């Protein structure tokens, strides 16, 4: 995640020959981090749970030092929290954090969509919308969730900024961690499915201001909903 989109700031096909084809074999620490990220996203590790170095080292068959390195990486992404001399815990979003996260999303998503983007990038947004429709038709709740994330990720990708992409990826990971599948019932999905359609249409029509307004309204409402569900 944090490593896959490093190169995405390159204008596609600009100086193709020079591309860094560096055959990445992820290090052990990275694979441990990846495994933990997976378990976090999947809800196998719930917020607040304690992660003991020795235990995880043994479970994954790696050295404690390596686990430590993975912990440092995930702590940098705010997925884990390190309490000095006390251990690392799965991050928990407090009431204020919800607003905080949505503030970030408002900043980068609205800014990205207001600036428009290349036809290819816009097509990617459209693709995410269609992906959502297909998932809805198939009653695939899981697919609906990721389709929505792809949609918002594609919006940020309009800006062609690798840094914004990684920031967005981290924020989405944080939200996945806390708003796990259980809390995301089908009720929500029906709402934004048509809304994403509208936003995408406005974007395709070049009505960037309106697209931005729609997106902003969605984010505000979404924040309200999440705040209502979780702590006041």
Site for a copy of itself in 91-130 (CB under 8 A): 96-97, 99-101, 103-104, 106-108, 110-112
- H or E element in which residue 27 lies: none
Say how far apart CA 159 and CA 9 lie, in whole Å.
Answer: 9
Say how far apart CA 12 and CA 231 lie, in whole Å.
Answer: 43
Site for DNA in 65-124 (CB under 7 A): 65-66, 68-69, 82, 84-88
Contact (Cβ atoms closer than 8 angstroms) between residue 53 and residue 67: yes
Other C-beta atoms closer than 10 Å to the C-beta of 85 total 5
> Which residue stretches of the chain are H helix?
28-41, 53-60, 64-76, 95-105, 111-114, 119-137, 141-157, 162-178, 186-204, 208-229
Among residues 17, 21, 54, 228, the one that binds DNA under rule CB under 7 A: 54
Residue 49 engages DNA in binding (rule: CB under 7 A) = no
Residue 25 engages DNA in binding (rule: CB under 7 A) = yes
Which listed range, 47-55, 123-131, 135-143, 154-162, lies at the site for DNA (CB under 7 A)?
47-55
Residue 181 engages DNA in binding (rule: CB under 7 A) = no
Point out which residues bind a copy of itself (CB under 8 A): 2, 9-11, 24-25, 27, 65, 68-69, 72-73, 76-78, 84, 96-97, 99-101, 103-104, 106-108, 110-112, 159-164, 167, 171
């Amino acid at each position: 995640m944090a490593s896959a989109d490093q190169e995405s700031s390159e204008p596609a096909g600009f100086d193709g020959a020079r591309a860094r084809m560096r055959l990445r074999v992820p290090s052990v620490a990275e694979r441990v981090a990846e495994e933990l990220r997976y378990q976090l996203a999947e809800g196998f590790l719930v917020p607040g749970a304690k992660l003991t170095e020795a235990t995880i080292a043994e479970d994954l068959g790696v050295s404690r030092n390596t686990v430590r390195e993975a912990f440092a990486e995930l702590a940098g992404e705010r997925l884990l929290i390190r309490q000095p001399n006390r251990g690392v815990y799965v991050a928990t979003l407090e009431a204020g954090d919800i607003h905080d996260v949505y503030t970030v999303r408002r900043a980068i998503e609205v800014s990205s969509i207001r600036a428009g983007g290349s036809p290819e990038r816009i097509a990617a947004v459209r693709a995410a919308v269609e992906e959502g429709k297909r998932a809805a038709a198939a009653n695939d709740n899981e697919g609906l969730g990721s389709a929505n994330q792809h949609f918002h990720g594609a919006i940020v990708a309009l800006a062609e900024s690798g840094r914004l992409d990684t920031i967005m990826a981290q924020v989405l990971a944080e939200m996945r961690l806390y708003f796990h599948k259980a809390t995301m019932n089908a009720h929500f999905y029906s709402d934004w499915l048509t809304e994403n359609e509208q936003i995408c249409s406005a974007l395709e029509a070049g009505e960037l201001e309106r697209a931005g307004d729609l997106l902003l309204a969605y984010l505000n409402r979404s924040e309200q909903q999440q705040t209502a569900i979780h702590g006041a």
